[in-house]
Amino acid sequence: SAVISQKPSRDICQRGTSLTIQCQVDSQVTMMFWYRQQPGQSLTLIATANQGSEATYESGFVIDKFPISRPNLTFSTLTVSNMSPEDSSIYLCSGRTGGITTNEKLFFGSGTQLSVL
Amino acid sequence: KNEVEQSPQNLTAQEGEFITINCSYSVGISALHWLQQHPGGGIVSLFMLSSGKKKHGRLIATINIQEKHSSLHITASHPRDSAVYICAVPVIPGGSEKLVFGKGTKLTVNP
């Protein structure tokens, strides 16, 4: 099974600054995703990170606010830009191998707990 | 109505008790994931089910595709089982694959 190393694990940031979160997978995964989990809520998909091309964003999330890179099959970054207190959440990256319903394996990073003052 | 609903939201048990967590869904294709989230945020995939039942150690997951319902059982529960358990259903809106998550069930097992 794949292991995803995510960093930083937590950070406290000032309003208006940006934070880049990194995820490194120890083996190739088919797809990579970025999620946000606000306190007491379920995971919300921010975007699908596409290798070598622009990420596919979900409704309510835009590239200017959450730029994503995936230069190869094992690495991706998410930047939270121009932060406000409303961005305080856990951010998680995830990888998947296999098809969506057949022998699919899901892997998650350990999460980044972001607090914006 | 949420697309993926879990019950109960919170569950407290004594060590050794048999635990059942339920998940009902109104969307998705014929599969479901059970995930475990520990304090601090890290998530571990427990099962992917498309039919019947799967067992791993003290964990058993069942699914009824026709009724769009799944259960996660923990036998002989232990304090280390304390975590949030999340079910997730794959959907393919407009051809792009994604997961829809339940809000999770917070399980606390007391010694």
How would you write the pLDDT of chain A (117 residues) with one tens digit per residue?
A: 778 999 999 999 999 999 999 999 998 887 899 999 998 888 999 999 988 888 999 999 999 999 999 998 899 999 999 999 999 999 999 998 866 555 577 889 999 999 999
Which residue in chain A is spatially nearest to B37 when comparing CA positions?
Answer: A110
Q: Which of A1, A31, A66 is nearest to B99 (CA)?
A: A31
Query: Which string of DSSP letters, residue by residue, matches B79-106?
Result: GGG-EEEEEEEEE-GGG--EEEE---EE
Inform me whether the pLDDT recorded for B80 exceeds 60: yes
Looking at residue B103, its pLDDT comes to 92
Q: What is the distance between the alpha carbons of residues B60 and B80, in angstroms, rounded to a whole number?
A: 17
Looking at residue B51, its pLDDT comes to 87
Backbone angles phi, psi at B81, to 5 degrees: -80, -10
Whole-Å CA distances, B11 to A41, B103, B104:
17, 14, 11
Q: What is the distance between the alpha carbons of residues B82 and B38, in angstroms, rounded to a whole number?
A: 8
Looking at residue B85, its pLDDT comes to 97
Looking at residue B11, its pLDDT comes to 97
Partners of B10 on chain A (C-beta within 8 Å) are none
Partners of A37 on chain B (C-beta within 8 Å) are 41
Looking at residue B42, its pLDDT comes to 84
Which residue in chain A is spatially nearest to B42 when comparing CA positions?
Answer: A110
Looking at residue B97, its pLDDT comes to 72
Tens-digit pLDDT profile for residues B26-60: 877 678 899 999 887 789 999 988 889 999 999 99
Residue B102 contacts residue A44 (beta carbons within 8 Å): no
Q: Is A15 on the interface with B (CB under 8 A)?
A: no
Residue B62 contacts residue B55 (beta carbons within 8 Å): no
Residue contact A109–B90, C-beta within 8 A: no
B10, B34, B48: best to mutate for the A interface, most A CBs within 10 A? B48
Residue contact A37–B30, C-beta within 8 A: no
The pLDDT confidence band at residue B69, using thresholds 50, 70 and 90, is very high
Looking at residue B65, its pLDDT comes to 86
Backbone angles phi, psi at B14, to 5 degrees: -95, 145
Inform me whether the pLDDT recorded for B71 exceeds 60: yes
Partners of B45 on chain A (C-beta within 8 Å) are 105-108
